[in-house]
């Protein structure tokens, strides 16, 4: 797995990026990029994690993704809305 590129570090402003494990902190990394990342960040994400790994984060209960992000990513990954948790 590729290390967290230096350009992605701004997405993790509240964490010491040197302590982020791309395996152990997979959900955290994927959520941050889906929520705050740009196209380059997403391309890195797609090259780092499988579509199934990304989908699992999107449909996960208590996802950190807001409704707008959830709807967008469900559309991109062809996930039916009834599988997506509804955050308030």
What's the pTM?
A: 0.81
Residue 83, pLDDT > 80, answer: no
Q: What is the per-residue pLDDT across 27-48, written as a single tens digit (0 to 9) for each?
A: 999 999 999 999 999 999 999 9
Q: Report residue 17's pLDDT band, with 50, 70 and 90 as the boundaries.
A: confident
| pLDDT score at 28 | 92
Confidence of residue 88 (pLDDT cuts 50, 70, 90): very low
Reply yes or no on whether the pLDDT at 55 is more than 50. Answer: yes
> How does DSSP assign 26-88, residue by residue?
HHHHHHHHHHH--HHHHHHHHHHS-HHHHHHHHH-TT-S--HHHHHHHHHHTT--GGGS----
pLDDT over threshold 90, residue 3: no
């Amino acid at each position: 797995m590729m290390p967290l590129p230096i350009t992605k570090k701004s997405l993790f402003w509240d964490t010491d990026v040197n302590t982020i494990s791309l395996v152990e902190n997979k959900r955290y990394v994927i959520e941050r990029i889906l929520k705050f990342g740009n196209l380059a960040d997403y391309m890195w994400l797609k090259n780092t994690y499988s579509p199934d790994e990304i989908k699992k984060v999107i449909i996960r209960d208590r996802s950190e993704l807001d409704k707008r992000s959830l709807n967008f990513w469900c559309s991109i990954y062809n996930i039916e809305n009834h599988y997506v948790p509804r955050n308030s």
